[in-house]
Amino acid sequence: MKSLFLALIGMAVAPVVGGLVSGLDRILTARCQSRKGPPLIQPFYDAAKLWGKEVTATNPWQAFCAVMYLVAAAASVGLLCAGSDLLLIFFVQAVGAVFLVMGAYAVPSPYSQIGAQRELLQMVAYEPLIILTIVGIRLMTGSFRVDAVFALDQPLLFKLPLLFLVLGYALTIKLRKSPFDISACHHAHQEIVRGVYTEFSGPYLALIEIAHWYEVILVLGLVSLFWATSIAGMILLVAATYAAEILVDNVSSRMTWRWMLGSVWLSGLVLSGINLVWLYAR
Amino acid sequence: MPVSVIKDFIEKSRLKSPWLVHFDCGSCNGCDIEVLACLTPLYDVERFGILNIGNPKHADMLLVTGTVNHRNKKVLKNLYDQMPHPKVVLALGACGTSGGVFREAYNVVGGVDKVIPVDVYVPGCAVKPEAIIDGVVTALGRLAEKRAEASASAKE
Amino acid sequence: MPDTLLFLLIVVPFLAALGCLLLRQEQLRSLIIIGTGGLLTLCALMLMASTPFSAAPKSILGISVSMLIQAADFFLLGVIGYYGYKHRNLLIQGLAVLQFVLLACFETFMVAPGKEYATFYGDTLSLVMVLVICIVGSLICIHAIPYMKEHEHHLQLEGSKQPRFFAIMVLFLGAMNGLVLTNDLSFFYFFFELTTICSFLLIGHDQTEIAETNAVRALWMNALGGAALLVGIMWIYSKTGTMDMQAIISAGPKAALLLPLALLCFAGFTKAAQAPFQSWLLGAMVAPTPTSALLHSSTMVKAGVYLVIRFAPAFAGTFLSLGVALAGAFTFLAMAVLAMGQSNGKKILAYSTVSNLGLIMACAGINTKAAITAAILLIIFHALTKALLFLCVGTIEQRIGSRDIEDMRGLLTAMPWTAVILVAGILTMILPPFGMLLGKWVAIESSSQQLFVIVMLALGSAVTVAYWARWAGQIMSVSSLGAREPELQPMLTRGPLAALLGGAVLLSALWPWVYNRVAGPGPGLANPASAAVMGFMIVVIGSGFLWAVNAMRQARTARMTRPYLCGAPENVEGTYVGPINQDMPVILGNAYFTSLVTEDRLTCWVNMGAGLMLVLMIGGAL
Ligand code: SF4
């Protein structure tokens, strides 16, 4: 009962926090480019405006996919807040990812189709890394559950430094930040227009924006697990990681999917392999 | 009460988050460069929530530069149709407003308003970034008016 | 009671096969097939009530069972030899002669009458297999009735070959039932060879050149497995002096038995088409689709995994077990990567079958109670979904004349009903809260102690999602505004599809119950997808689903815009107005990564890797 309560609270609070984090992201990005940037609550203005726009669609199936993306993203955050099984959380967010891809596939426009294929490649790149990180956490705690992480007396980061790097890698891809803004970009300077988002408009795009906030929270939640022993450590780690993400986003250019897949699978596997061997050897 | 709060917030948001799509309809590129200049740190239009989104399906405002010719007028119409309501159109530069110095050319339609309804005309050759920003702000006023008209006609 | 059920489950299909051969009238044949299917389903369900059981029927219809099986063994080897001779394949001939001689020596010199034991035995594993075989298998046979009619119509045959086809199909079900219910190694060998012959005949059914080549390949690979099985059985008998499978298994791991068990696993690997033997199953898709559906889902390949899972307790905790896990996980990853490079729908299904069986093998190799449970659950859900997908592709192929997934782009317009079923089937394959994914979840949780296994499972599962989502996505890729015509299909085509999808969804919803039923009592078996978790998921995702359906309905009335092509004008759907006002087609296609995933080149490497894995596995038993 308590965990259900936590899940519901998480699902209610996450979009608010996620939206604010996105707003902060935009301000910091603007500052990096010596601009002033939008107000903090700009993402909420954007979503509300989109929600109020006319409903247009090319294929009704898009509407289905947008809703399922949001629901799955919300459910995964709910499960995280309830302290559920990490693999389950991961699988549920994959539901959202798959539906986003299907929604992009739903319209025979070259931009969204190429975006969909690239998004699949991004999934191929980040999913194994996240699974391996979860396995690392399992080896430390003896359980796949999130609440087991909070029972530890030492931050995970000390034992899983390389896996933390790997997770950072994976999350950059998951959030589609440069150099991995391959399938879609939050800024409109991409060769495939807006990739997977191209064909969603109005309220459906609003749903996708909100789903993205949930994903930001999910990602930050995963990061926070690495310093679960103190609140201050948690906040510090999350802030530092996200700041690093923004910095990387601003200083790097977009890479090709080949480079992404090759470098991520290679370095990700080597790093997580080394870290896991340490744990097995214990 | 909460419903009306949300509705008010949505109405407010329309003015706080104008997303643009910029279409070069046969411009000499002079105006285009000025449009992009608006995004630079000097002018930083993102302060007002303005984003150059590059996709009519996401946009609220269509910024058209150039004379409009017989070849690309259909494209202009198409882009306009793909934008969801409510939406406004800005004709930028001497060319966009009237065809400018190319007005008499055989292939030129001469002005955006020959093809789609235009809400705001921004003159200049090339159009100045300050003028573009001013035009966008004026267009936001038009957007609010259009909403008011639409809701008034919906009530009737 | 079990005796009667055994008779009905194993012997009736043989009789029905005879009926199909002799009564060559079409309506009558349909009646026999539907009747047998119904009877088998009923018997399988009734068997649920009486497991676990053991039985030792001495005779059927007055003939001694073991005599009958012995005679049939030699007959089967004769048949294999005959086909080896007919197709001038020295390898098959050699294997047949070798097995003939070995079997003859074995039966005459070695086997001494020992003490009595149950020749048939049923526990949860056999029960699950029987249910899968009888229910999924019967549905496939029923779907085949309209399919084969259309198929022969298309081929414009002179005389119908359907009696032979359906006879083998139902015979196959009987053979599989026997295989999973027997407790006697020599009976097991008989049924094992019988499935080899049946699959050979079914693959070669169309008698085209390619069909014959592929059938012969299937025969030699499986005969190799059969030979390994026979040697393994003889070896085990010489060490333990019994053919009682339960006695061998319950004795626990013994160092002396590891090598023969490795041979048994080898036989399982050939039958389950694990790398490097995947080529026979890939070749099997030249056969009419119901054959592929049967081989891939409920029979044949499942016999291979059944064999390994059955004997898993006898090598638990040994290096052999690790070898099985590694080889299985390697197959899982390698086949998923190969599937990524395919645009042929049936080949994607085939690679995915091999890949999923690799996952099941990996579970058997991890060999904890939870992993074995995962393996059994994966068998159930894989059978349901894979049968569904094959039947869908077959149905689509008959309509659009292609099995290429590129040709299925926008299938929603042409075949709305089948397209939706196919997409739903694909989603049950990769997403929670459906059984396949939950099974994979248990599998990954139980393999977290094996570094290499878990790395390969992690990589493989990501690739798996990608190649399925790609296919499902483009089926729904439609921009047509025109009204869709309702799709017309015979009831016997539509019914099995709906039943299979319904079964997969319903069993997923009942997951906690199914899990407990399969896992049984025992420590260390906490079901990760507990009733509470499943409840949460079903409520949230279910209500999301309803919301999504509602949103989709509203979107139908929304203003429709055209796909974004940079505003290029469009006169005819699917084209844009290009230079000199020509209508240029908009051609979309998927990337198949042909520069990275070249089937020929990669297969060569994969086979080498898998061969090494097998050597590792068998060598580990030394
Ligand atoms: S108005 Fe002047 S600068 Fe602008 S497009 Fe026309 S000619 Fe070029």
Which of chain C's residues have a Cβ under 8 Å away from the Cβ of B79? 567
pLDDT of residue C147: 86
Q: Taking a contact as any Cβ pair under 8 Å apart, which residues of chain B between 38 and 67 contact chain A?
A: 41, 44, 46-49, 51-55, 57-58, 60
CB contact under 8 A, B47 and A56: no
Q: Which of B136, B26, A204, B13 is nearest to C561 (CA)?
A: A204
pLDDT of residue C481: 56
DSSP count for chain B of H helices, then E strands: 5, 5
Distance B93 CA to ligand 1 centre (A): 6
What is the 3-state secondary structure of chain A? Answer: CHHHHHHHHHHHHHHHHHHHHHHHHHHHHHHHCCCCCCCCCHHHHHHHHHHCCCCEECCCHHHHHHHHHHHHHHHHHHHHHCCCEHHHHHHHHHHHHHHHHHHHHCCCCHHHHHHHHHHHHHHHHHHHHHHHHHHHHHHHHCCCEHHHHHCCCCCHHHHCHHHHHHHHHHHHHHCCCCCCCCCCCCCCCCCCCCHHHCCCCHHHHHHHHHHHHHHHHHHHHHHHHHHCCCHHHHHHHHHHHHHHHHHHHHHCCCCCHHHHHHHHHHHHHHHHHHHHHHHHHC
> Which protein residue's CA is at the shortest distance from atom 8 of ligand 1?
B28
pLDDT of residue A178: 81
Evaluate whether C366 touches C447 at the Cβ level (below 8 Å): yes
Query: Who wins on pLDDT, C58 or C18?
Result: C18
Place of tokens 């149950």: C118
pLDDT of residue C113: 64
For an interface test with A, give the residue of C436, C533, C552, C596 to mutate (most A CBs within 10 A): C552
CB contact burial B54-86 (16+ within 10 A = b; e otherwise)? bbbbbbbbbbbbbbbbeebbbbbebbbebbbeb
CB contact under 8 A, B49 and A46: yes
Region for B99 from its dihedrals, namely left if φ exceeds 0, alpha if ψ lies in -120 to 50, beta otherwise:
left
Atom of ligand 1 nearest to the CA of B30: 3
Tokens of C541: 């995702």
A189 has pLDDT over 70: no
Nearest-by-CA chain B residue for A44: B13
Please work out, in degrees rounded to the nearest 5, the angle formed at the alpha carbon of residue A279 by the alpha carbons of A275 and A280. Answer: 115
Distance B37 CA to ligand 1 centre (A): 15
CB contact under 8 A, A265 and C459: yes
pLDDT of residue C606: 84
Distance B110 CA to ligand 1 centre (A): 12
pLDDT of residue C525: 66
Measured from CB, residues less than 6 Å from any atom of ligand 1 are: B 27-28, 30-31, 65-66, 93-95, 100, 125-126
Tokens of C275: 């790398």
Q: Residue C122: which H helix or E strand, with range?
A: strand C120-122
pLDDT of residue C18: 86
Domain count, chain B: 1
Closest Cβ opposite residue B14 in set A47, A52, A197: A52
Could you tell me what percent of chain C has a pLDDT over 90? Answer: 7
Nearest-by-CA chain C residue for B75: C567
Interface membership of B78 toward C (CB under 8 Å)? yes
A210 has pLDDT over 90: yes
Evaluate whether C483 touches C358 at the Cβ level (below 8 Å): no
Which of chain A's residues have a Cβ under 8 Å away from the Cβ of C472? 102
In chain A, where the domains are located: 2-281
In Å, how far are C88, C442, C521, C524 from C370, measured between CA atoms? 47, 7, 11, 7
pLDDT in tens, A105-151: 988 888 888 889 989 999 988 999 998 899 888 888 888 888 888 88
Tell me if B119 is assigned to some domain.
yes
pLDDT in tens, C538-548: 888 889 999 98
Instruction: Name the residue range of residue B59's domain.
Output: 19-155
C2 has pLDDT over 80: no
Tokens of A261: 């897949």
pTM for this entry: 0.92
Distance B132 CA to ligand 1 centre (A): 13
Closest Cβ opposite residue C536 in set A7, A67, A132: A7
Q: What is the pLDDT along chain B (156 residues), one digit of tens a residue?
A: 578 888 888 888 888 888 989 999 888 898 999 988 888 888 888 888 888 888 899 999 999 998 998 888 889 998 998 898 888 999 999 998 988 888 888 889 888 888 999 999 999 888 999 999 999 889 988 888 887 777 777 665
Atom of ligand 1 nearest to the CA of B66: 5
Q: How many beta-carbon contacts under 8 Å exist across A and C?
A: 202
Query: Who wins on pLDDT, C374 or C1?
Result: C374
In Å, how far are A147, C135, C208, C298 from C36, measured between CA atoms? 52, 11, 30, 16
C331 has pLDDT over 70: yes
Tell me if B146 is assigned to some domain.
yes
Question: Which CATH number do you get for residue B68?
Answer: 3.40.50.12280
Tell me if B145 is assigned to some domain.
yes
> Which protein residue's CA is at the shortest distance from atom 5 of ligand 1?
B27
Could you tell me what percent of chain C has a pLDDT over 70? Answer: 95
**Amino acid present at C14:** F
B79 vs chain C: nearest CA distance in angstroms?
A: 5
Which of chain B's residues have a Cβ under 8 Å away from the Cβ of C567? 23, 56, 75-76, 78-79, 82
Distance C570 CA to ligand 1 centre (A): 29
Which of chain C's residues have a Cβ under 8 Å away from the Cβ of A104? 473
Distance A4 CA to ligand 1 centre (A): 62
Nearest-by-CA chain A residue for B10: A48
Tell me if B29 is assigned to some domain.
yes
Which of chain C's residues have a Cβ under 8 Å away from the Cβ of A173? none
CB contact under 8 A, C561 and B82: yes
User: What whole-number distance in Å separates Cα of residue B86 and Cα of residue B56?
Assistant: 12
CB contact burial C181-211 (16+ within 10 A = b; e otherwise)? bbbbbbbbbbbbbbbbbbbbbbbbbbeeeeb
CB-facing half-sphere around the CA of B119: CA atoms within 13 A: 22
pLDDT of residue A69: 93
Tell me if B7 is assigned to some domain.
no
Coil/strand/helix, residue C505 = helix
Tell me if B9 is assigned to some domain.
no
